[in-house]
Amino acid sequence: MLNNSSATSAESRTGAPFYRAVGDEIEVFRAAARRGLPVLLKGPTGCGKTRFVEAMAEQSGRELITVAGHEDMTSADLVGRFLLKGSETVWVDGPLTRAVREGAIFYLDEVVEARQDTTVVIHPLADHRRALPVDRLGTTVPAAPGFQLVISYNPGYQSVLKNLKESTRQRFVAIELGFPPAQAEIDIVSHETGVDPQTAQALVALGNAIRNLDGSPLREGASTRMLILAGGLVAEGLGLRSAVQAAIVQILSDDTDVIRALGELADAVLPPM
């Protein structure tokens, strides 16, 4: 049975995107938006890239259309295709075409996962042409005012096989995001989960302890998103250690030794039970 109050808090969480600036990312984004330049967001998983774009869209009053790249994604998934409806074929705009027509922000998350034809399709939108050729319709759709292309990727994941082509990359203005400073992160965890400041502080302290581990065997450090998930479980009445185990420790590793070491680190950092 679902708890009504948490359902309500979930709604309030999606209402107004909460974003705390760390450097000059907002100024760079706004300058790029004024000039119609595309933006490349760089940063680790769960540091708030999506939240940043949501906040920028909210502030400029533009619609945000988000698509996550994956290795089976083709250009037709972005641009659109003909579908059979009854006995007729009807063209259905893809999310990119919709964003171009409506002047929305189009956010292509994890762009390097997509197949190369999807990155090529965004080239004419990412330079002075600002237009989307729709081969299947034989037309070119000019970008409405306000259209802006944003892509993200995680530099820690790049490999020889999956990398952004230089010719794509050089069309963008880059903004690097990292995890927020401690106090900002405590505010975020409190705001997003409703836990008391002590719990938020304890979770952020643990997060930073994990991020600062020397010679860490972890692929990634504890992300802000993971701290928020742990806080959410606490807010639902689960004990802090159980929540940390479920949302942080067991997520960070499958290795028995690493899991035990992270548990000991949690014991040292978290307040005694």
Residues 221-260 interacting with a copy of itself (rule: CB under 8 A): 223, 225-226, 229, 232-233, 235-238, 242-243, 246-247, 250-251, 254
Which C-beta is closer to a copy of itself: that of 98 or that of 184?
Answer: 98
Q: Are 79 and 131 a contacting pair, CB within 8 Å?
A: no
Which one of the spans 61-69, 180-188, 201-209, 263-271 is the region binding a copy of itself (CB under 8 A)? 61-69
By CB under 8 A, residue 195 contacts a copy of itself: no
By CB under 8 A, residue 183 contacts a copy of itself: no
By CB under 8 A, residue 211 contacts a copy of itself: no
**Structure-derived torsion over alpha carbons of residues 133, 137, 142, 145, reported in degrees to the nearest 10:** -120
- Of the candidates 79, 77, 96, 67, the residue with the CA atom closest to the CA atom of residue 135: 79
- Chain positions 130 to 149 lying near a copy of itself, rule: CB under 8 A, are 130, 135-136, 138, 145-146
HSE-CB at 14 with a 13 A cutoff on CA atoms is 5
63, 117, 196, 267: residue in contact with a copy of itself (rule CB under 8 A)? 117
- Chain positions 152 to 171 lying near a copy of itself, rule: CB under 8 A, are 154-155, 157-158, 166-167, 169-171
Contact string 74-113 vs a copy of itself (x = CB under 8 A): xx-x----xxxxxxxx--x-xx--------------x--x
By CB under 8 A, residue 20 contacts a copy of itself: no
Burial tier of 80 (Cβ tally within 10 Å: 0-12, 13-18, 19+): buried
d(C-alpha 149, C-alpha 107), whole Å: 6
Contacts of 15 (CB under 8 A, 6+ apart): none
